[in-house]
A = this chain, B = another copy of it.
């Protein structure tokens, strides 16, 4: 079992990801796909007159401030446009995909964080009305039910809080939690860079190997969203996942390439 997470940034070729996955699926390999949709969410939010707002935590992590209206736009793009677009691609390729969010069947469950500490103009502020959280529990039963019946699960945030509220969660860390819960042999985190770079954005500075017991030691090289990927990688290997590959979704056969070790391999 392999968990593949594909991001939602510019340059990612969903067609290539789906074609590669479909070919591997045909060979009998089994996957769960988790996807993002951040870039498209920003575009739709702008078009609807509710532009995105990103906040930076005191420890340097950037995240989307998700008020109720933003959550609904987020759901429109992630669960509607992107998820159903991927499911349609798979159906055309003859793979019977099923698209679900973390709300459905409580696949991704966590605590609702209503307020967030954010650094603005050098000061730490507390912003309320946030719909975010972190995945703490995964409904492996539903994912396995679908896989055993021959369906390819295509999953995305939001997750659901214990009280039943939709919460925006980081997709990389959700995929890491899923991979650990499924006892996956590998987790592939594919985005629009070749992997973790020692000197971002110099692609020649790619770090090829990270020992499983020192993943956090490499956090210093991670920029922006890559921080969550390194954190997710650390969580996955601690959770028993055989290896994590930070790979390039812009490659021609991006899943096969990552499986063959292209990118940054954490093991």
Q: Which residues of A contact B (CB under 8 A)?
A: 44, 47-49, 72, 75-81, 83-85, 87-88, 91-94, 96-101, 103-106, 141-142, 145, 149, 151, 158, 160, 163-166
Q: A92–B93 Cα gap in the complex (Å)? A: 37
Contacts of A104 in B (CB 8 A): 87, 97-100
Q: Are A149 and B160 in contact (CB under 8 A)?
A: no
Q: Are A106 and B81 in contact (CB under 8 A)?
A: no
Q: Are B81 and A163 in contact (CB under 8 A)?
A: no
Contacts of A165 in B (CB 8 A): 88, 92
Contacts of A92 in B (CB 8 A): 163-165
A47-B49, A142-B151 known, 19 other contacts, Cβ within 8 Å: A44-B48, A47-B48, A72-B81, A75-B80, A75-B81, A76-B76, A76-B80, A76-B81, A77-B80, A79-B83, A79-B84, A79-B99, A84-B101, A84-B103, A88-B164, A88-B166, A92-B163, A99-B103, A141-B149
Which of A80, A94, A97 has the most B CB atoms < 10 Å from its CB? A80
